[in-house]
Amino acid sequence: MSEMNSKPPIYHEKQVKELCALHALNNLFQTRNTYSKSELDTICSRLSPNVWINPHRSMLGMGNYDINVIMAALQKKGCEAVWFDKRKDPGCLDLSNICGFILNVPSDYKLGFVMLPLRRRHWITIRQIQGNFYNLDSKLEAPQLIGRSSDLIAYLKEQLDSKEKELFVVVSKEVEEKQLWMHQYAIHTSRLPDSPHSENHSQNNCESPQNSLTDGYDYRNRDAECLRLNEVNCVASIENH
């Protein structure tokens, strides 16, 4: 476990092999062994039984789990992950109802000192801990302070300027069902085509989150993974912050 020099203590799992998806899960839950490699491997086998080469992980069995494994693992926790449409402004996010974020970024794969020409995706957890948001990237030596809500929004805007990066909003099942992860004014006005404010909100990219669940993201692509959080953990996190 890594800790910041000042409070609060933060659980920060470091990168091993190609297990960034596993690290992202455990860092998101802030608990060691929330999931284990053997659990994710078991899910791979369940998703594709009786195959010589499992399509949901690395051929060498070192990790690189795909979206199906992550989603299956987190379905047991009763929570949801929502792909964030980059056409929206992150300022539309209602941070009070969001448990955390998973940022999907491209990554080079290195074997020893040799950089291999393999395309890999890296998964980074971002979450709030006692009022501040932190980047819990497993490749970092220590958690990286992002700051308060306004700092996070600016950080997300900067990250999403890259077409190769994707953001997933982690929420409880109830929040996802009621679409509470976005400010309600954005949802309301986007559903009123004759609203005098609809044009303004369109310019601000605050359209309905329903569109983001179906447009622009291929959930079968193994270059993309998303996460869901334990509902109890999510609710507790929101209450504490």
Amino acid 76: pLDDT: 73
Rounded Cα distance between 202 and 198, Å, is: 6
Residues classed as catalytic: 20, 122
Amino acid 50: pLDDT: 87
Amino acid 95: pLDDT: 95
pTM: 0.74
The CATH fold of domain 20-240:
Cathepsin B; Chain A (3.90.70)
Amino acid 206: pLDDT: 56
The mean pLDDT values, 10 residues at a time, for the chain of 241 residues are 62 89 89 85 86 83 76 75 89 93 76 51 90 95 96 96 89 89 71 47 45 46 38 42 43
Instruction: Spell out the domain ranges in the chain.
Output: 20-240
Amino acid 122: pLDDT: 85
The 10 Å Cβ neighbour count of residue 89 is 17
Q: How many alpha carbons fall within 13 Å on the CB side of residue 94?
A: 17
